[in-house]
Amino acid sequence: MRFYRLDSLPPGLFYDEAFNGLDGWKLSQLSVSRWPVFLTGNQGREALYVWLMALLHRANGLSVWTIRAVPALCGALLTPALAWLAWEVAPWLGVKNRRSFALWSGAAVLCLFWSQVFSRYGIRLSLFVLIETLLWAALWRAWTADRRPQTADSVSISQSPIPFWLLTGLFAGLSFYTYLPARLLPLILLPLVVAAFWQECARLLAHLPGLALGLVVAVIVAAPIGIYFLQNPVSFTTRVDQVTIIGREGRDGAQGLGANIAAVAGMFAGTGDANPRSNVPGRAALDWLLAPFFFLGLLFALGRFWRLAHLWLLAGLGVMLLPTLLSEFAPNFQRAIGAIPFVVLLIALGLDGLIRLATRLWSRGQLAYLAAGWLIVAASFGLTWRAYFGEWANLPDLFPAWDVGFTRVAEQLAAADDGVRTYMTPRGREHPTLGYLLEEHPGTPLPQGFDGRICVRAATGVPARYFILDKEDFRTESLLTGIYPQATVTTSVVETVGTVWARRLEQPAGGAVVFPEMQSQPVPLNDGIALLGHQLFPPAGMEAGATFYTRLYWQVSAPPAADYTAFAHLLWRNEVGDLVWLAGADRPPGDGSCPTTEWLPGEVVIDELQFALPAELPAGDLFVAVGFYTPADGVRLPIPNASDDQILIGPLTRGDR
C-alpha cells in the first residue's frame, strides 16, 4: 500500500519534495555534527525528516524513490504503532474485544485515503503522525504499568513504568523536530492532568517521579530546537503568520472562523480537501463504510467524556484539527494530519461499540459480528486502493499539482546532455525539481533562466536550446523565431488533457541571428557590456500618464562582475542646454529574472523598461538616457566618452516610434 509504484505515483516530483531532497542530499555530504536543527529555506522546516532523508541518500543515492521512502516507511510503521496504541488504551475505553480493537485500528489507517496520500508524499507529515502515535502509545503504557511484578503462566514479568516514561519523553522531544502541529500536543495533556487528578489521584501521585523524568527527557531532547527558536523567533512564527485567518477575515476565500468550523466538521463525510495534491478534490476524509463508525465512536466518546481515555480522544481530535480550523483553505488535510490517530481510534471504538450492542441482542453472534467488522474494513481498504491507484492516479489535475512538466523537462535535459546552451522561460532555473533531478547528472547544467515576458537572452555564435512554458510566456516564441529564422520549434511537453505545456526551440550551430526591428546604436560600456541598439515605443500623442516602453539590446562580451540595476530616464533639454529629468524607470534586468552576473559571453540580452509620462511635457528636445548602476551605492557603470555615464537616445520625434 505504501511502497507500490512509489517512484512513479505520485507522478512527477513536486516542488516541496524536491526542495527536501536537495537539502537531504546536501546534508548527506556533511558530517552529522554540522546538521542544522531547523532549515530556513522554503518557509522554514523542522529538520528531523531531512536528517532521515540524508541518511537514506547516503545509502541509496539520488532518486525519487529515496525522497519518498522515508514517508512511505513511516506510513507502513503507522499500522503497528496504532495497533500498539489501541492495545494500551483499550482497557481505559472499556472496549469489549481488545485484540480486535487493536487490529482494527492498525488496519483502519490503511483505509484512509488521507493517510495514503501523505505516506507517499516527500514531506514531513507522515513522520509527525508516526512519532505522535508512538508518544501516546508510550504514555498510555507508562500510565497503565504497575511497579509490582505480575505472574502470567508462572513467569514473573516486570511492569516498571520508568522505561515507558523515558520513551514518552523521547518521543515528545522528537516531535518538535517534525511538524508545526507538534507544538499543540501539550494542549491535549492539560485536560488530562485535570481529569487524572480528579479520577486517578493515587495513580497520578504514584507516577509523579515518572512524569517528571519524562518531562526532563523531553526538555533535553527538544532543547536544541528550543534554543534555536529563542535566538530566531521569526522562524517560529513565520509560517503560522502566513496562513492564519485570525485578523484576516475573508482572505483567500476563507469567511472567518465560523465558516471554517462548518467546513472542517463536514470534511469527514461531506466535502473534503479541494487540493488535488492532497485528495481527490472534495472527497470526504472517510468513505461511506467507515464514516458511520467514526460518528458512532464519537458519540460513545461524547457520552462518556468525563472518563480519562474518552476525554483524551475528544481533546486530541479537537486540538489536532485546530491547524486547519484557524487557517485558510479549510478543510486542509495536510494541516489536520495530526488528527489521524484519533480518527482511527474512534472508528475502531465505533466498531467495537456496535458489536457490543449487537451481542446484547444475540450473544451467539459475536464471531459473525467480528467477521462482519473485518469485511467492512477489507471493503474500505479496497475502496481506498481503487481511489488512489485508479481514480486519483488518473486525475488530469495531477500534472500541474505534482510539477510533472518540470520533471519531463529535466528528463529531456538529462537525455540530451550534448553541451548545447539551454534556456528556460519564464521560470524553471530556480525550480528545485530541475535542480534535484539534474543533480545526478553533473555534466548537465541547469538551464539558464529569464522571464521572456519582459526580458530575453538570445545566444549568438553558438547553438542554443529554449524551453518555453507555453501557457505562461505569451511572446518569447514569436520573438525568438524572428531572431533565429533557421530555428525549429517542436512540442516538448504535453499535459494530460492534451494541451501544450512547453515548446522547445532549437537554434542550430551557425544559424542566422538577426534583430530586424532594432535601431542600431552600438556603444561600449564597461564590465563586458555594450549597447547594441534599441526600440522605443512612445505612446501616440504622448498623453499625460501614458506608458512609454523601451526595449534595449545589450551585448555581452564577458561575464559582468556585479548585479547592476538598469535605468531608462526621459530627459528634457532646457533653454540653457541642461538635461532635466522628467520620468523614468529603474530595476534589475528582467525585473530580477536576468541578473547581469548570469549573463554569458555572446548573448544579446533584450530588456524592457517602461514608465509613465509626466502630467506635462515641456516644449523642446526629449531624450531617453539608459545605463546601469550598482544598487548598493548608486555608482553608475562607466561609459567611455559619455557624460554622467549614461547613453542618450534621441532627440525623440514626438508621437513617432
What are the tens digits of pLDDT across the range 415-429?
987 889 999 999 988
Count of structural domains, the chain:
3
Same domain, 322 and 422: no
pLDDT at 255: 55
Domain annotation covers residue 479: yes
Same domain, 228 and 114: yes
**Which domain does 475 fall in, by range?**
403-507
Whether the pLDDT of residue 149 is over 70: the answer is: no
Domain finish residue from 449, 484, 507: 507
Same domain, 427 and 315: no
Burial of 78 (0-12, 13-18, 19+ CB in 10 A): buried
Print burial letters for 192-210: b (CB count within 10 Å at least 16), e (below 16). Answer: beebbeeeeeeebeebeeb
Same domain, 166 and 293: yes
Same domain, 349 and 477: no
Mean pLDDT of 592-599: 95
Same domain, 409 and 390: no
Domain finish residue from 483, 507, 531: 507
Whether the pLDDT of residue 146 is over 80: the answer is: no
Mean pLDDT of 313-329: 94
H helix or E strand, kind and range, residue 587: strand 579-587
Question: pLDDT digit string (tens) for 451-465?
Answer: 999 999 999 999 999
Same domain, 225 and 95: yes
Same domain, 462 and 526: no
Do 42 and 50 contact (CB within 8 A), yes or no? Answer: no
Q: Is 288 helix (H, G, I), strand (E, B) or coil?
A: coil
First-to-final CA distance of the chain: 65
Residue with cell 528528463: 411
Q: What are phi and psi of 429, to 5 degrees?
A: -55, -40
Mean pLDDT of the chain: 92
Domain annotation covers residue 254: no
Instruction: Give me the torsion for CA of 432, 397, 399, 325, rounded to 10°.
Output: 20
Domain annotation covers residue 295: yes
Instruction: Give me the torsion for CA of 348, 339, 328, 386, rounded to 10°.
Output: -50
Domain finish residue from 475, 507, 539: 507
Same domain, 93 and 194: yes
Domain annotation covers residue 8: no
Portion of the chain with pLDDT greater than 70, in percent = 96
Same domain, 462 and 587: no
pLDDT at 155: 34
pLDDT category at 396 given cuts 50, 70, 90 is very high
| Cα–chain center distance at 91 | 40
Q: C-alpha angle with apex 218: 28 to 183, nearest 5 degrees?
A: 80
Residue 531, domain CATH: 2.60.40.10
In one-letter notation, the amino acid at residue 272 is G
Q: Take residue 426 and report the three cell numbers written for it.
A: 519564464
Same domain, 311 and 198: yes
Domain annotation covers residue 618: yes
Does the predicted model carry a pTM greater than 0.95? no
**Of the candidates 234, 231, 600, 624, the residue with the CA atom closest to the CA atom of residue 445:** 600
Domain annotation covers residue 656: no
Residue with cell 539520488: 62
Whether the pLDDT of residue 365 is over 80: the answer is: no
Integer Cα distance of 21 and 27 in angstroms: 10
Whether the pLDDT of residue 252 is over 60: the answer is: no
Domain annotation covers residue 263: no
pLDDT at 247: 64
Mean pLDDT of 23-31: 96
Integer Cα distance of 522 and 537 in angstroms: 19
Q: Is 640 helix (H, G, I), strand (E, B) or coil?
A: coil
Integer Cα distance of 371 and 377 in angstroms: 10
Same domain, 105 and 237: yes
Question: pLDDT digit string (tens) for 43-97?
Answer: 899 999 999 999 999 999 999 999 999 999 999 999 999 999 999 999 999 998 8
Domain annotation covers residue 55: yes
